[in-house]
A = this chain, B = another copy of it.
Amino acid sequence: MEKSPVSAAVIRRLPRYLRYLGELLLRDVERISSQELSRLMGLTASQVRQDFNCFGGYGQQGYGYNVAFLHREIASILGIEEQQDAILVGAGNLGRALINHISFERRGFHLVDIYDRDPKLVGSSLHGHTVHHIDLLEEHCARHLPSIAILTVPRLAAGEVVTRLVACGVKGFWNFSSLDIRLPDVTVENVRLGDSLMTLRYRMKQRD
């Protein structure tokens, strides 16, 4: 329970550090300086050192950082060893793609159930899981409380689903709907694909 007021900007860079360090590890690189790593990643060496020092001194003067050690530490900071149970709500195109595409286990999550309200999808199998009807949610959660929900339902359905999930005790949302979730004691990570595409549109226009 470390009271770490580490800024969101730093946290958002951690997975990227983890990825680069993982690659160095595969290439049997043993040590790396903030200088080299920054060049590799397109950051400044100063930023790399500041970022790592938010969590403690992982390097050694005159040597740099031990790749394997740093990789382990960042993985641990992100908390990906302690698996948490997750459910997917919304087994449409996007939900199905996420389940097949993202490695949840590698990122600290264990998928336990999939829900949808479409009778055509209920009962079908998806990545080794049976799609359940959303009305079984409360019953299932009473037995086996998932801590996060991946929300890939249409916007109009999202409000009700969120209320029910929060009532069940879900504490985190990976939210792909355009509904803004603002609730106390709930952590939300919004993925706004449409917004992302529109900013690309703008930035390209600026170049012309």
Chain A residues with CB under 8 Å of chain B are 1, 4, 8, 11-12, 14-16, 18-19, 41-42, 77-80, 82, 84, 92-94, 96-98, 100-104, 107-109, 147-148, 171-172, 174, 178, 180, 182, 185, 187, 189, 191-208
Residues of B contacting A108 in the complex (Cβ-Cβ under 8 angstroms): 198, 201
Ranked 7 nearest A-B pairs via Cβ: A97-B97, A15-B195, A189-B200, A93-B97, A79-B205, A15-B198, A93-B100
Q: How far is the CA of A16 from the CA of B1 in the complex (A)?
A: 34
A42 and B180 within 8 A (CB)? yes
Q: How far is the CA of A81 from the CA of B103 in the complex (A)?
A: 37
Q: How far is the CA of A125 from the CA of B96 in the complex (A)?
A: 19
Given contacts A1-B208, A100-B93, contact A79 B202 (CB under 8 A): yes
Known interface pairs A84-B204, A94-B101, A102-B193; 4 further A-B residue pairs with C-beta atoms within 8 A, sorted by A's residue number = A11-B202, A19-B178, A79-B202, A93-B101
Number of copies: 2
Given contacts A172-B200, A187-B207, contact A12 B195 (CB under 8 A): yes
Contact of A96 among B84, B93, B174 (CB under 8 A): B93
B196 and A191 within 8 A (CB)? yes
A202 and B77 within 8 A (CB)? yes
Residues of B contacting A104 in the complex (Cβ-Cβ under 8 angstroms): 197
B107 and A194 within 8 A (CB)? yes
